[in-house]
Structure 1
């Protein structure tokens, strides 16, 4: 019997873990860590988090993270990618925990928000799944800028860079949180009357922030983002867009 524990770890700072997350990691029989060829720092950060919070010797195993196809139908590519990740999980579990037990996976941010882990876990028929929530990049962004997420008595729309670039600003929305942007989706918008709050590597020593009218801040963010990606080999960022009150 396999029990999959999906543990939200925030945005890379070991202090972002909740007490519940620390307990779950220490109760695990195996911790799985993905390794991406072009983002090895992410695996190293997970190892650093484990070293900081583990109080017992829990085996840690890594697996090569499959790469999603960049061409063809997007949703089909994602489904195929999830199948490949599930196979990688299963192979690692059989190799390192053949008798079954509790398997912990450290999920960047929160497992419930724009993350694939729950959908991948659903491919394990009969496995128990437990979710330990974590700090999201949205919380880290608003805290870093010391701003409220929503306007007074107003809603917030959460979307992706791909959707923003393809469809523009959603109708009826005044505030947008944009996640999973491969870079510069806000360029597809009319910047007039829009303010942006942007953050990368939130909660980490490399944290970078920018804020201002989109027309002025947008080009600076793109240049900063490109420089940071070149320096570190990877980048995780998120931003809030808000239309100025009419």
Structure 2
């Protein structure tokens, strides 16, 4: 039997060191998905992940998967694809369309041993991350084909200099990888830190992901978390780094 702390609207998160080892990283349940709670979660290395028939579950796994920007694996085929310029890549031009596309693609849930292909991006999550995007914290990368159709993309949450990736999708070959390459290029240009991938997978490893102990991840997260100024407002530097525009590598 699993015993978890219950969070009401005002309850703070427990220390991430108290998260379960089985299932890996399960920390607490309850609370809400409002923008302040989500911002607080990501600022402390915590993220929500749950299905339609579950309460809101909060996670902080150990180890944590990240992609160091200089370690991103640019394959020859992906480099050729980028050099052909058959796609245009943008930042924050169509967040709603990207998250809805990600939600429409069933995928395995790495937090569950049960075989399922149901999406974990439930309606409540979609609504919550759209609000977080409107607050200027969640961001999307879009890949457009020559007919201006959305061909692939990704979305996530930026905490200071770190991008916490949530999900990606492709409707045309390798377009999700192209979105990731463009994100890495953008982050390097603005001297950002690394991409948080949450949990390791073979696909992420093929892109250069490695794992860190959770304690090391939290230390680096705190070092690079400069999202808000002293008045609790998003800094001008943050807005500049994550503003929209063409980011084709």
Bin of the TM-score, shorter chain as denominator length? under 0.3
Which structure carries more helix by proportion? Answer: 1
